[in-house]
């Protein structure tokens, strides 16, 4: 008799532990998913005040970033390889996200040219239109560009022309990462190069969802 | 008898260094991409395979449809992208070298004719051995990315 009471007690306790575990897993606090590819800043960082010109020669200041998520890439339009390839990746990722269920908003894409000597707003306008919807371009003085690049950990340097006979044919070394600016205009996360469409498609919903809580 | 003949054949192949099944150097996945309107240069990507038993060296790419063609490589170091000119590219035996976005690429400057999407573009690949390969592909407007 004592033995059967003991067995019953063990069964009841085991069942209680099982039910408790299930309840904890289903009703307990959930761990928010983390991005796999992007590096999220522990605390989003406000940007310094800046002023650039967009592809329509309109002033862009900090409030341009408000109420939207933006993927910012620093490059230049005479760049034959990594700049168009990166913009192509971002544009394809945006198009893929547009077809995903539950994506209530799409990120904007902004190319900031670090070659203001060659990239006028007119040139930027034709260039960004080539990459489809949601792509804008901007540039500005060295001083204004440096305010942003310093805050965002971006390096750029105009290199010597390959030939003194062709001074307009020069390359610009530049950081290849993509910066994520959140809908409060803050530096939120960064994607390191090399870039893939899948990395943006998988991580952007996680990054953007985090701020809906 | 059959064994002796096989050995003879193997010796012949080894002697002349040629593959019994097709060319030693081949170029695949060639894509020539026009730049955004009003910008320059165009860019080309491809894979060069060397099925031979010795390394081959690509020394130049040219096209009658462009005034200047150069080989370059985007080098990513500490997160910063820089371009470096390549004077030649070696493809070691039994291997291939990819020219792909964010890496090696061919730059095509000053088109001698209008860049019409879909128009046939011919590139000539010259190797140190003197071998030349002429490949033609339609002009694309988008860089191939994953």
Q: Cα separation of B103 and B114, whole Å?
A: 27
Residue in chain B lying closest to A171 (CA): B83
Average pLDDT over residues B69-98: 96
Q: pLDDT over 70 for what percent of chain A?
A: 89
Q: What is the pLDDT of residue B12?
A: 42
Q: What is the pLDDT of residue A89?
A: 97
Q: What is the pLDDT of residue A103?
A: 77
For B32, phi then psi, to 5°, come to -110, 125
Give A51-91 pLDDT, tens digit per residue: 999 999 999 999 999 999 999 999 999 999 999 999 999 99
Q: Which of A27-36, A109-118, A201-210 shows the lowest mean pLDDT across its residues?
A: A27-36
Domain ranges of chain A: 1-30, 39-212
Residue, of A91 and B114, whose pLDDT is higher: A91
3-state helix, strand, coil in chain A (%, to 5): 40, 25, 40
Mean pLDDT, chain B, integer? 88
Residue, of A41 and A169, whose pLDDT is higher: A41
- Interface contact B143-A198, CB threshold 8 A: no
CA distances from A57 to A119, A140, B66 (A): 12, 10, 33
Q: What is the pLDDT of residue A23?
A: 59
User: Among partner residues B39, B42, B82, which is closest to A78 by beta-carbon distance?
Assistant: B39
**A:B CB pairs within 8 Å:** 83
Average pLDDT over residues A169-175: 93
User: Among partner residues B35, B40, B102, which is closest to A82 by beta-carbon distance?
Assistant: B102
- Among residues B109, B101, B106, which one has the least CA distance to residue B126? B106
- Interface contact A176-B81, CB threshold 8 A: yes
Whether the pLDDT of residue A21 is over 90: the answer is no
Domains of chain B, earliest start first: 21-140 (2.60.40.1890)
Complex ipTM value:
0.81
Whether the pLDDT of residue B10 is over 90: the answer is no
Q: Which of A5-19, A143-157, B11-25, B108-122 shows the lowest mean pLDDT across its residues?
A: B11-25
User: With an 8 Å Cβ cutoff, is A111 touching chain B?
Assistant: no
Confidence of residue A169 (pLDDT cuts 50, 70, 90): confident
Whether the pLDDT of residue A194 is over 60: the answer is yes
| B94 φψ region: left (φ > 0), alpha (ψ -120 to 50), beta (else) | left
Q: What is the pLDDT of residue B4?
A: 53
| Arch. (CATH architecture) of A39-212 | 3-Layer(aba) Sandwich (3.40)
Q: Is beta strand A59-60 parallel, antiparallel or unpaired with respect to A172-175?
A: unpaired
Q: What is the pLDDT of residue B9?
A: 44
């Amino acid at each position: 008799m004592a033995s059967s009471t003991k067995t019953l007690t063990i069964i009841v306790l085991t069942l209680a532990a099982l039910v408790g575990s299930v309840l904890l897993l289903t009703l307990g606090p959930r761990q928010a998913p983390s991005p796999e590819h992007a590096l999220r800043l522990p605390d989003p960082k406000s940007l310094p005040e800046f002023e650039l010109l967009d592809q329509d020669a309109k002033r862009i200041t900090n409030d341009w970033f408000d109420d939207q998520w933006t993927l910012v890439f620093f490059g230049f339009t005479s760049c034959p390889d990594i700049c168009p390839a990166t913009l192509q990746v971002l544009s394809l990722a945006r198009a893929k996200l547009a077809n995903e269920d539950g994506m209530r908003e799409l990120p904007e894409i902004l190319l900031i040219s670090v070659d203001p000597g060659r990239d006028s707003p007119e040139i930027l306008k034709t260039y960004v239109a080539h990459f489809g919807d949601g792509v804008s371009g901007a540039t500005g003085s060295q001083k204004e560009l440096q305010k942003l690049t310093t805050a965002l950990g971006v390096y750029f340097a105009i290199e010597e022309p390959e030939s003194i006979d062709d001074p307009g044919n020069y390359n610009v070394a530049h950081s290849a990462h993509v910066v994520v600016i959140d809908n409060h205009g803050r530096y939120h996360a960064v994607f390191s190069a090399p870039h893939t469409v899948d990395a943006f498609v998988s991580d952007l919903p996680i990054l953007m969802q985090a701020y809906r809580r | 008898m059959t064994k002796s003949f096989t050995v003879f054949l193997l010796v012949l192949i080894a002697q002349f260094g040629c593959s019994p099944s097709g060319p030693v150097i081949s170029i695949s996945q060639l894509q020539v991409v026009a730049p955004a309107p009003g910008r320059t240069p165009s860019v080309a990507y491809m894979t060069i395979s060397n099925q031979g038993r010795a390394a081959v060296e690509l020394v130049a790419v040219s096209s009658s449809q462009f005034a200047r063609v150069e080989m370059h490589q985007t080098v990513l170091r500490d997160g910063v992208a820089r371009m470096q000119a390549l004077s030649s590219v070696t493809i070691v035996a039994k291997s291939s070298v990819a020219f792909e976005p964010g890496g090696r690429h061919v730059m095509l400057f000053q088109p001698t004719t209008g860049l019409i999407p879909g128009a046939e573009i011919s590139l000539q690949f010259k190797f140190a051995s003197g071998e030349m390969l002429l490949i033609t592909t339609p002009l694309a407007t988008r860089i191939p990315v994953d």
